[in-house]
Structure 1
Amino acid sequence: MAAKWIEALTGSLKQKKQYKQAKARIDALPEPYRSVANAQHRYSMYYGGVTDGDTLVQMFLDLADLWERAAIDGTPVSDIVGDDAVEFAETYAQAYGGTQWIDKERARLIKAVDDAKKKESRS
């Protein structure tokens, strides 16, 4: 009972556990994979704007999988990221879509403009 009340306030405890596990996997990577994976993780937190917990957790679980596999195979970072690290990180984040924080503001902007147009047409 208490867990449901806590989750209502803070979000899914299962998602938090999965996220922490993914972050721990990234932190356990050997260099240079750890540095790049942590940089991509941080960038994704700012750029992605994903608000859906399941999508966000899956994105970071997959990120850990990607860099673990690269480390195991010895794949050079440049072979994964290519020439443009920002483009790679943004394309990666966009692949997860999901609800983003900006969606709510876009809807507000569209409604405000539509409301203003209606008022103008009545005048």
Structure 2
Amino acid sequence: MNIIERLVGDLGQKREYHDYKRRAKALPEPYRATCAALERYLMSVGVGDDSAVMLTMLDDLATLLEQGAADATPVRAIVGDDPVEFAEAFLANYPQGSWISKERARLATSITKAVDEAAER
């Protein structure tokens, strides 16, 4: 890792993120607004601190909406009547980077450990 990357982080990942932002901005309405809303939701509930997973997820989101726009698929046909349900299903494809998945696993492990320790006494 060179000195610049040590100071500002992985430059390749920064480029990937900026590429995603350019792609999102190039989407026609209402796909652009949908992308922004989904990104905001997914980032607040989802990916945790794994930037590689985040970049993959955002790339897939942009690809999905670009394809929908190219095919003239209505946004509601993509996200359905419940955008939260869609977002949660979309996020489920990236469990390895989800902070909520990690917290669920930690909760289950902690309770199992507590129960096992109590049974040993």
Q: TM-score range by the shorter chain?
A: 0.7 to 0.9
Segments of 5+ residues of structure 2 without an aligned counterpart are: none
Q: Percent identity?
A: 37
> How far apart, in 2, do the equivalents of 1:4 and 1:33 lie?
34
Tell me the C-alpha RMSD between the 2 structures.
2.5
**Which ranges of structure 1 fall in alignment gaps of 5 or more residues?**
none
Q: Matched residue pairs, number?
A: 119
Q: Which whole-Å CA distance do the structure 1 matches of 2:39 and 2:62 have between them?
A: 9
Distance 1:107 1:15 in 2: 28
Q: 2:44 aligns with which of 43, 46, 52?
A: 46
For residues 72 and 108 of structure 1, do their structure 2 counterparts lie closer, same or farther at Cα, with a shift above 3 Å needed?
closer
- Contact 1:49/1:100 (CA < 8 Å) preserved in 2? yes
Q: CA deviation at 1:120?
A: 9.2
* TM-score, scaled to structure 2: 0.79
Confirm or deny: 8 A CA contact 1:50 1:97 kept in the other structure. Answer: no
TM-score, normalised relative to structure 1: 0.78
> In the alignment, is the contact (CA less than 8 A) between 1:26 and 1:37 conserved in 2?
yes
Superposed CA deviations along residues 30-74 of structure 1, whole A, max 9, x for unmatched, are 111100111001110012133222111011011111111111111
